Chains A and B, each alone.
Chain A
């Protein structure tokens, strides 16, 4: 029998291994990462220009404010995309390369494995989101005199717990449907953001969607970040957004583990991890 301390130690080393592996992948596909980032910039610009477009068409609005709202929405959209992609795509990728069998037969426990991927996704995603935000804010010469970026980051960090939990649920899909499973990450991303008021206030949504918005972590993330950046709300002012995020996070992580566990069992029962060889 090994002591819990020894087990904990090797689990932590394993967690570092997951992060290490994903870092190697980013390094080895660095040019692809650059291209992908440029695509994200272009994509975000198409949205953020809308405010100027409306003004040019004769609409009346606070262009600076509206542009900032659109930018926040665009960055969150991209951030969520990265989180889901890293969690889901890595499983699909491992299945494709065949390494998944070696990962799944290693003594590293599944929750630690998934948390490792989530951790990497958050660190990488935050760096990328920060860069995206900076590049576009600079491009539009946006003024954000009141912005409290620290509390915006805190909100994003707390919301990420829920995002990781949901990402774990989408990550199970490539185990079950190897061909199409990873697409479901995009579906989850779109559904989550449309009900959460990504570029608009949730009040404009029809009632059933408004109800859904109350259980979506992205709603609180978007509201909190807008408050922090537009009105300089500090962490203590954002309690109304933070506590729902903590609760949703506390539910979604165990749920993510449970869903992944079921998917893994299914895959092992029916030989879905790999067939040939």
Chain B
């Protein structure tokens, strides 16, 4: 615990930022243009909502999980908060900074782990981490010791840090992605299905580490996931995102009570009218 704390310290919120909620989203909307299926050339495109009027807050130091089936808008939310998408309405603030008006201020505070690790495959993990840290103003002097430290912390064998990324397993790559996010000391960590597709052991290791990071210092976490158990175990509050709408956001126990359910899975079903099996099928359809 203290190790993690010592690694992740340098950025802290300023007093002004201190007083605000970590994330403050009001009426947030995002649409994408989709081609009309039957239209001939020139293709007509119509806007399809990905997020509809999202409103919620996350307190500092809190871990909020957003559950949602594929295509419900989880990644869109994460991308909006990390300044990778522009919104179509509403507002979003991170520690008081307008995400769309002051992106530079927000970028310093945020980092992200997504379902795909996304690295230069021929480069080693040390090289990938090294240049990425530079973009956040960390010097070679600072990263020389921090990279091996942080890799060890996430359970990546530091002596493999000079191997190319493509020679590493998915689980290993995902640990490097976690290291990349933590290296820049974010106060808001956006996790977009960080354990999807991992083998059970890697999954457990990543989850354990997320819990450790939480305990060690006051990072705020938004965890988007498919995994009900993961949400229940890691998060203070659980939200259900269904087709771009946030149906509820409350502690898992309250959520179960609200729907008279004994498990989160039952509650999810009661809220959305869909089971998880159904969802897998929908997901495949969505991809085709």
User: By the criterion CB–CB under 8 Å, are A24 and B139 in contact?
Assistant: no
Residue of A with least CB distance to B190: A105
Classify chain B: how many residues form its interface, as a range: 35 or more
**B84 shortest CB reach to chain A, Å:** 5
Q: Is A269 an interface residue (CB 8 A)?
A: yes
Q: Is A212 an interface residue (CB 8 A)?
A: no
Taken together as a complex, chains A and B put the C-alpha atoms of A206 and B111 apart, in Å, by 55
Q: Cβ of B119: which chain A residues have Cβ within 8 Å of it? A: 97, 99
What 1/0 flags go to A97-109 for Cβ under 8 Å of B? 1110111111111
User: By the criterion CB–CB under 8 Å, are B132 and A97 in contact?
Assistant: no
User: By the criterion CB–CB under 8 Å, are A28 and B122 in contact?
Assistant: yes
User: By the criterion CB–CB under 8 Å, are B120 and A97 in contact?
Assistant: yes
Q: Cβ of A17: which chain B residues have Cβ within 8 Å of it? A: 130-135
User: By the criterion CB–CB under 8 Å, are B121 and A97 in contact?
Assistant: yes
User: By the criterion CB–CB under 8 Å, are B32 and A271 in contact?
Assistant: yes
Known contacts A13-B139, A107-B107, A273 near B84 by CB under 8 Å: yes
Classify chain A: how many residues form its interface, as a range: 35 or more
What 1/0 flags go to A25-53 for Cβ under 8 Å of B? 10011000000000000000000000000
User: By the criterion CB–CB under 8 Å, are B135 and A108 in contact?
Assistant: yes
Q: Cβ of A104: which chain B residues have Cβ within 8 Å of it? A: 83-84
Taken together as a complex, chains A and B put the C-alpha atoms of A105 and B123 apart, in Å, by 20
Q: Is A236 an interface residue (CB 8 A)?
A: no
User: Among A18, A29, A265, A270, which residue has its beta carbon within 8 angstroms of that of B122?
Assistant: A29
Taken together as a complex, chains A and B put the C-alpha atoms of A144 and B118 apart, in Å, by 50
What 1/0 flags go to B72-108 for Cβ under 8 Å of A? 0001100100111110000000000000000010011
Q: Which residues of B contact A (CB under 8 A)?
A: 14, 32-33, 75-76, 79, 82-86, 104, 107-108, 110-112, 114-116, 118-123, 127-128, 130-139, 164, 180, 192-193
Q: Which residues of A contact B (CB under 8 A)?
A: 1, 9-11, 13-14, 16-18, 20-21, 24-25, 28-29, 97-99, 101-109, 265, 268-271, 273-274, 276-277
